């Protein structure tokens, strides 16, 4: 009996290689938009938590949290995020050339 190694991720990789330059750019723009959305979401969520003056003003901590949230949003969007980039891509891909 012959066994076949099947990697479902390979199908996604092969399909991604078949995208036109415009479609790849659209995909990247959709991921970047989702990243910005997630960053704003994280910012608003942090603002909802009451602050304490126990440790002083904590300006450096706020700056670090802001930078951390920005990078976290980028990583989340690149990992699939909440699906917003896929929805944007599917809605807009019909307006982008399939071969360029």
Residue (of 96, 49, 55, 93) closest to 69 by Cα position: 49
The answer to whether 26 and 93 have CB atoms below 8 angstroms apart is yes
Closest CA to 79 of 35, 22, 19: 35
Domain limits of the chain?
A: 21-48+55-95
Question: Is 0.85 surpassed by the pTM of this model?
Answer: no
Q: How far apart are CA 79 and CA 83, in angstroms?
A: 10
Residue 16 pLDDT grade (very low, low, confident, very high; cuts 50, 70, 90) = low
Q: Is the pLDDT of residue 25 over 90?
A: yes
Q: Which residues contact 46 (CB under 8 A, 6 or more apart)?
A: 65, 69
pLDDT per residue over 27-72, tens digit each? 999 999 999 999 999 999 999 988 887 777 788 888 999 999 999 9
Q: Model confidence over 62-94: pLDDT tens digits?
A: 899 999 999 999 999 999 999 999 999 999 999
**pLDDT at residue 100 above 60?**
yes
């Amino acid at each position: 009996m012959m066994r076949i190694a099947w990697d479902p991720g390979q199908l996604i990789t092969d399909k991604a290689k078949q995208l036109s330059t415009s479609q790849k750019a659209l995909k990247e723009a959709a991921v970047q938009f989702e990243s910005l959305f997630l960053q704003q979401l994280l910012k608003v969520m942090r603002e909802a938590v009451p602050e304490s003056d126990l440790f002083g003003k904590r300006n450096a901590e706020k700056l670090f949290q802001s930078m951390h949230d920005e990078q976290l949003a980028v990583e989340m969007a690149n990992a699939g995020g909440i699906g917003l980039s896929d929805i944007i891509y599917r809605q807009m891909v019909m307006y982008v050339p399939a071969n360029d």
